[in-house]
Amino acid sequence: MPAPASQVLEDAGCPRVGGDPLRTFSIELDDGELERVSPSLRLDGIQPAAAPLTEASGAAIEPKHWDIGRYRLSFERPLIIGVLNITPDSFYDGGRYFDLPVAVARGEEILAEGANIVEVGGVRAGPGPTVPTSEELARVIPVIHALGDRVNIPIAVDTFDPLVAKAALEAGATIVNDINGLRNPAMRAVVRETAAGAVIMHIQGRPRVHQPHPHYDTVIGDIAQFFKDQIEVARSEGIHEERLAIDPGPGFGKLPSHDLEIVRRLGELQGFGRPVMLAGSRKAFIGRVLDGARPSDRLEGSLAVAAYAVLNRVQLIRTHDVAETQRMIETLEALSVQTSAA
């Protein structure tokens, strides 16, 4: 039986994390120049919903930054990752941005709505027919090229294909969001050789293959063990830990009950000292909570989940709804302001 999650983190040398749940965002280039700063955000009056996994003594180790290519992202504030799907069968937008001009316009809109990162994906993550590498490349590379000339924020590519990741990074992306969790040695080689940032997502099973009966001894404990193992493998192969982020992967090899437990206990994953990403936007477990609501009717649930994540000190919120998520965070900011009586 896997060790409890708290023991996993203590074994990895991860002390308890403290500090405010919300932070100020900035991008620092390699030469030290500050490229963009968002307003400061503090929630002194609102407590996180969960404590970190470990109570071990020592200095707090909230991630101070995330190194992604030529960028260094800081985490005084949660960063919003805007999703841009270049797929004809996306579970939410259903191919709305499949044409290049429409996709590029949406990418610019994502920036204008307040995203800190735009993520381009060319293959639906859920079960479906195989998409050849050549087709995935034809979908994402032109968009990444075009956005590189139009947006001043980092671009991520959502792929588990090392060839696509390499081409995307050469085209201007600086982050690989790998739903296969960096389990492919070829993907790790791409990340190592390009100095890209990488998101290690937990998945039980394989990408694009339905997992009808997922089982966990302890959900958070098993996920924590996965992250410990994958971070160690990456480090052993020369990938600097400062370039890694982690995503517990709601919806990937998990039942709705697993997804809800993950969200409830997101704060407990802070002990690794790496940025934690929540990618719960419009997902099926939210539909289950909302009496079978379709993806198009899951906005309120998605915002509730994102707000809960923010209060659990999550650093990265991946969303289809950038403007609404930005307004939610601004509202939390307003709630944290303490005013004196007249």
Residue spans per domain, the chain = 5-335
What are the φ and ψ backbone dihedral angles of 21, each rounded to 5 degrees? -75, -20
- Cα separation, 106 vs 1, in Å, equals 46
User: Burial code of 90-108, b = ≥16 C-beta within 10 A, e = fewer?
Assistant: bbbbeeebbeeeebbebbe
Q: What are phi and psi of 143, to 5 degrees?
A: -70, -45
> What's the chain's average pLDDT?
84
What's the whole-model pTM score?
Answer: 0.83
Cα–Cα distance for residue pair 175/156, rounded to 1 Å: 4
Sheet of 316-319, strand order? 244-247, 197-201, 175-178, 155-158, 117-121, 79-85, 316-319, 277-278
Catalytic residue ranges: 283, 318
Residue pLDDT, tens place only, 163-190: 999 999 999 999 999 999 999 999 999 9
| pLDDT given at position 209 | 76
Q: Which residue has the tokens 């997804």?
A: 259
> 249 or 95: whose pLDDT is higher?
249
Least confident of 56-60, 128-132, 182-186, 251-255: 56-60
**How many other CB atoms are there within 10 angstroms of residue 138's CB atom?**
12
Tokens found for residue 184 = 């492919």
Beta strands 117-121 and 79-85: pairing type?
parallel
Tell which residue, 278, 281, 259, 256, has the closest CA to residue 267: 278
Q: What is the pLDDT of residue 76?
A: 82
pLDDT band at 207 (very low <50, low <70, confident <90, very high): confident
Specify whether the CB–CB gap between 147 and 172 falls below 8 A. yes
- H/E stretch holding 277 reads strand 277-278
Report the range of poorest mean pLDDT among 76-80, 157-161, 191-195, 242-246.
Answer: 76-80
Is the pLDDT at 45 greater than 50, yes or no? no
Any idea which residue has 């339905």 for tokens?
210
The reported pLDDT for the residue numbered 54 is: 43
Structure tokens at 339: 């005013």
CATH homologous superfamily of domain 5-335?
Dihydropteroate synthase-like (3.20.20.20)
Cα–Cα distances (Å) from 293 to 32, 175, 286, 302, 329, in that order, read 47, 32, 8, 12, 24
Please name which of 96, 109, 199 lies closest in space to residue 153, comparing C-alpha atoms: 109
Does the pLDDT at position 81 exceed 60? yes
**What pLDDT is recorded for position 338?**
60
> Please, are residues 289 and 301 in contact by the beta-carbon 8 Å criterion?
yes
**How many Å apart are CA 21 and CA 43, to the nearest integer?**
7
